[in-house]
């Protein structure tokens, strides 16, 4: 999969919101990428894929996929017997 550009709405439910931009392979991972930008009391209000015209500045790096996060401890590494 390739990275796509997303606009993520953050804010308290019913309160003022703000928009951040992230790149991600999926909309779920876009929420993961935006999570470090959230402040106390904020929630993800919306996630929308937008066209990348080259003018949007991304606010956070892509989130690691679950497979990438687990790679060091998945079967190949876990099956190795330590002496």
Domain ranges of the chain: 4-78
Spell out the per-residue pLDDT of the chain, length 83, in tens.
689 999 999 999 888 999 999 999 999 999 999 999 999 999 999 999 999 999 999 999 888 776 677 666 666 655 555 55
Cβ count within 10 A of residue 6:
25
Query: Model's pTM, two decimal places?
Result: 0.77
CB 3 within 8 Å of CB 37: no
| CA-based radius of gyration for the chain | 16
């Amino acid at each position: 999969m390739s990275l796509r550009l997303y606009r993520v709405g953050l804010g308290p439910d019913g309160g003022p919101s703000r928009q951040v931009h992230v790149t991600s392979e999926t909309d779920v991972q876009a929420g993961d990428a935006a999570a470090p930008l959230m402040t106390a009391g904020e929630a993800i209000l919306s996630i929308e894929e937008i066209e990348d015209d080259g003018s949007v500045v991304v606010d956070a790096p892509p989130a690691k996929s679950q497979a990438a996060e687990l790679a060091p401890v998945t079967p190949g590494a876990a099956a190795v017997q330590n002496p």
